[in-house]
Amino acid sequence: MCGFAGIFDPQGAPVNTAVLARMAEIMHHRGPDDSGLEVRPTHHESTIANLGFAFRRLSIIDLSKAGHQPMQNESGSLLMVYNGEIYNAPELQHELKDKGYRFHSTSDTEVILKLYEDRGIDAFAQLNGMFAIALWDKNRNQLHLVRDRLGIKPLYYSQAGSQLTFASEVKALLCHPDQRRRFDAQGLTDYMSFQFCLGETTLFDGIKLLPPATIHTYNTRAPQAVPQSTTFWRWQYRPDHGRSLASFSGELRERLEGVLARQIRSDVPVGTFLSSGMDTGAISALAVRHRPHMHSFTCGFDTSGIDNDEKLFDERKEAQELAQLLGTEHHTLTLQQDALQRYLKPTIWHMESPQVGISYQILAMAETVRQHVKVVLSGTGGDELFGGYHWRYKPLMAMKERSTLDTALYRQWCRLLDDDTRWQVLGDRIRHESASANPRERFDTVMATCDTDDPLARMLHFELHGFLHGLLQLDDKLNMAYSVEARVPLLDNDILDLAQTIPSAMKYDGLTTKIVLKEALRGILPDAVINRRKQGFTPPDAHNMRTGNLSWIEGMLRTEAFRDAGLIKPEAIDLILSEHSSGVRNHRFLIWALLCLNNVQALYMDDVQQQFTNAAPNRLRDVS
């Protein structure tokens, strides 16, 4: 678990090692344990180093210097940097040893390197884990950029002048003097519609996020950095209607037990997030079988003065009871109603391109987790694989015609601004620049890869490719802000492969959610936990934004700099705040999105170049 950056110039210009070093150093939080930098010429006849890798290491497996990166093979023909964990590395290493390969460490980095040496790019599809990889193959004159199946680990890339730049975080790319800094109109329109950006798009013009399950291969003999793109895995709904619920739930239980045994491996302490619900409860219950003195972590909220459903957002009591039942060493963080003011700025500094919902509570939790462990297990993915959102599915389940369903689904997913209100809120400059960025066309592009008419399968398809992709970015960025590795056992390859074959009726039947997962967990968790109503991990900010935080929010959104940026119409901000404060509408997610844009503008788009060019890293404390 780490962070890396790289520069490649296909025209042969030398890599500026000072810039490359700054790109890695600004991500110091991703890897405080070690660092490395290597540059290479990409042509045999040249002595000019036009390819460079820089690395920051968070040591999890093999804490010795043998796990140092960038790592090369014995001949020096391969050079690699990598961020993530490969859970089947021991098994792959055994296979490779049987074929005569020698290993000098127990690190999964060396396993990837030798697997590629043995099998070429076919190696990446055989990895079970979360990963982002940059690999230089001297013999083939190729640079490969690779991202895992679902995009658990991020990898951004851009064209900065004549150079291809790539890194684990956007802020590293902004260290390059030729990287432009302005909002991407398509990304902003995506975000203000769906609450996340789709596909490769980010909020930053020219900066792309490598798609999940994708290999970009750059041939160094090409005149420009134009990649050949290869997709090595695709989510496909392939239901096996010949199997019973008991058969599926039994196999799912076995696979979950195997996954936890595999993902608990670590040479440093491991803990689990623990809410009152089923997903984190199951992960914790299975994890303690392998590590009896597990730490568990809950974030709760001060709900004093709240008399509506937001009072249920606080899960401390139920989580504490579950922790006592499981025997974990439990830690509880309670956020006060002004926590938004404390955590917003550092949250956006680390998120860079905000995704999904309110997220500062995740950063706050990471701060607590890091005081006790270096690795934490998350329950992310259970809802998107097994159908956990009753309120989303119920209104659309009767729609059997594909176009009718997709239209209703699109409207449902315009969570912030729909087609009627979008241009009443977004500024004229964004409207002009995003003329070709039609959110419905973006939605249709995602749905074109779904080859079933099954209503639930189509709904889950969009969740996996949109909402879940955003959630995974939150998990990575905000935990790594405090050098915490967040693992997602429910998204292990073994679970994904099985989930694709489970019929929709065994996930959601119009009344009960996550049916097959609930059956698999009978006996592992009490029925009261399995059957408890779903509660998302979100603060009670509809109330908090109407009370103690309101004047602060008004001051943030009515600054001259934000108005001059031209992203949002000032009169729209006034109306949104007025409707929310009076209780006419609940605009908490829209207000959060506006606060995010305000801070992206201030932290990344304004005249802040010095923070990216200074030799010293810009740490979390500098923006808190």
SS3 assignment for 185-237: HHHHHHHHHHCCCCCCCCCECCEEECCCCEEEEEECCCCCCCCEEEECCCCCC
Lowest-pLDDT range of 47-51, 348-352, 376-380, 580-584:
47-51
Q: Could you report the per-residue pLDDT of 188-204, keeping only the tens digit for each?
A: 999 999 999 999 999 99
Q: How much is the pLDDT for 11?
A: 84
Which residue's structure tokens are 């995506």?
190
Contact partners, residue 237, CB within 8 Å, separation at least 6: 450, 451, 452, 454, 457, 460, 461, 500, 504
Contact partners, residue 30, CB within 8 Å, separation at least 6: 1, 2, 3, 56, 58, 83, 168, 169, 480, 483
Q: Write the secondary structure of 311-330 as one string of H (helix), E (strand) and C (coil).
A: HHHCCHHHHHHHHHHHCCEE
Average pLDDT over residues 18-34: 94
CA atoms of 289 and 310, how far apart (whole Å): 34
CA atoms of 529 and 531, how far apart (whole Å): 6
Q: Write the secondary structure of 449-468 as one string of H (helix), E (strand) and C (coil).
A: CCCCCCHHHHHHHHHHHHHH
CA atoms of 506 and 491, how far apart (whole Å): 18
According to DSSP, the residues that pair with 270 across neighbouring strands are: 375
Q: How much is the pLDDT for 610?
A: 47
CA atoms of 82 and 69, how far apart (whole Å): 8
CA atoms of 453 and 409, how far apart (whole Å): 13
DSSP β-ladder status, 270-273 and 156-160: unpaired
pLDDT at residue 613 above 80? no
Q: How much is the pLDDT for 514?
A: 97
List the 129-137 sheet strands across, edge first.
Answer: 71-72, 78-86, 129-137, 142-147, 214-219, 228-231
Q: How far apart are the first and last CA of the chain?
A: 24
Q: How much is the pLDDT for 542?
A: 92
CA atoms of 28 and 175, how far apart (whole Å): 14
Q: How much is the pLDDT for 223?
A: 56
pLDDT band at 619 (very low <50, low <70, confident <90, very high): very low
Q: Would you call 471 helix, strand, or coil by DSSP?
A: helix
| % of the chain surpassing 90 pLDDT | 81
Fold of 2-183+200-231: Glutamine Phosphoribosylpyrophosphate, subunit 1, domain 1 (3.60.20)
Q: How much is the pLDDT for 46?
A: 79
Q: Could you report the per-residue pLDDT of 145-175, keeping only the tens digit for each?
A: 999 999 999 999 999 998 999 999 999 999 9
Identify whether the C-beta of residue 378 lies closer than 8 Å to the C-beta of residue 284. Answer: no
Contact partners, residue 284, CB within 8 Å, separation at least 6: 272, 274, 294, 296, 322, 323, 326, 328, 377
pLDDT at residue 376 above 80? yes
Provide the residue ranges of all domains of the chain, joining segments of one domain with +: 2-183+200-231, 245-342+351-388+453-535, 545-622
Which of 495, 498, 479 has its CA nearest to residue 378?
A: 479
607: left (phi over 0), alpha (psi -120 to 50) or beta: beta
Q: Kindly report whether the global pTM for this prediction surpasses the value 0.85.
A: yes
CA atoms of 490 and 90, how far apart (whole Å): 20
pLDDT at residue 56 above 60? yes
DSSP β-ladder status, 375-377 and 329-335: unpaired
pLDDT at residue 135 above 70? yes
Q: How much is the pLDDT for 307?
A: 83
Phi, psi of 470 (to 5 degrees): -70, -40
Average pLDDT over residues 368-386: 96
CATH number of the 245-342+351-388+453-535 domain: 3.40.50.620
Average pLDDT over residues 1-15: 91
Q: Could you report the per-residue pLDDT of 283-307, keeping only the tens digit for each?
A: 999 999 998 889 999 999 999 999 8
According to DSSP, the residues that pair with 164 across neighbouring strands are: 8, 159
Q: Could you report the per-residue pLDDT of 303-337, keeping only the tens digit for each?
A: 999 988 888 898 999 999 999 999 999 999 999 99
Lowest-pLDDT range of 114-118, 440-444, 528-532:
528-532
Lowest-pLDDT range of 134-138, 479-483, 597-601, 605-609:
605-609
